[in-house]
């Protein structure tokens, strides 16, 4: 298994979270921004997490000439079926702070009762090599949207993603509990399992 990986993302927060998830399962990775100038990734589609992740990974692997891991993720809300999902970042504004994005979701759901505030977080990870090889995995996490932002162990959607089993949001759980539960953490475990199974 390749020992050195770069994370193909211009989002520092996402890169940090993905690096933590990968490290939890024994793989070291760091933001490509720590090693190279900022890349201008190809535009994302509006239809497929897999396509978005693969395009980012292949582009970065070719540009950087090293193995990379890219992520495409989003939150899906049945109560707001026409919003978010694969276009989450675009719907909420990529330059909007995580706190404000969460407030926008809470405002949109203000009239929705707790029992109907179901949510799914989806993550796709794509590994790519300069020779054109790719590997993809996907994972999901089911939960509910809380009535307010809570927790300080992590940020983003974790602060409003309520897990009934624990009676807490993801952001209220320390990393040793949170990381294996998250959509990105589950995807990281799947990816590392498959990488270890590959030859070389």
Q: Kindly name the residue from 17, 34, 51, 72 that is annotated as catalytic.
A: 72
Q: Would residue 34 show up in a list of annotated catalytic residues for this protein?
A: no
Show the domains of the chain with their CATH numbers.
5-197 (3.90.950.10)
Dihedral, CA atoms, 41, 42, 45, 51, nearest 10 degrees?
-80
Read off the pTM.
0.90
* Tens digits of residue pLDDT in 10-66: 999 899 999 999 999 999 999 999 999 999 999 887 678 999 999 999 999 999 999
Q: How far are the Cα atoms of 58, 72, 111, 118 from residue 121, in angstroms, in the given order?
A: 24, 11, 22, 10
pLDDT at residue 136, as a whole number? 98
């Amino acid at each position: 298994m390749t020992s050195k990986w770069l994370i193909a993302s211009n989002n520092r927060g996402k890169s940090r979270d993905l690096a933590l998830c990968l490290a939890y399962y024994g793989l070291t990775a760091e933001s490509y921004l720590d090693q190279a100038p900022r890349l201008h990734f190809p535009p994302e589609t509006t239809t497929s997490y897999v396509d978005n992740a693969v395009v980012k990974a292949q582009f970065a692997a070719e540009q950087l000439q090293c193995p990379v891991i890219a992520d495409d993720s989003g939150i899906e809300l049945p109560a707001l079926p026409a919003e978010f999902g694969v276009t989450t970042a675009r719907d909420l504004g990529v330059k909007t702070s995580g706190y404000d994005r969460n407030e926008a979701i809470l405002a949109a759901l203000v009239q929705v009762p707790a029992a109907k505030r179901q949510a799914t977080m989806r993550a796709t990870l794509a590994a790519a090599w300069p020779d054109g090889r790719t590997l993809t995995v996907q994972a999901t996490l089911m939960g509910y949207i809380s009535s307010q932002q809570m927790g300080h162990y992590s940020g983003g959607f974790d602060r409003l993603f309520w897990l009934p089993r624990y009676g807490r949001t993801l952001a209220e759980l320390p990393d040793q509990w949170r990381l294996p539960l998250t959509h990105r953490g589950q995807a990281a475990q799947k990816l590392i399992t498959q990488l270890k199974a590959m030859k070389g």
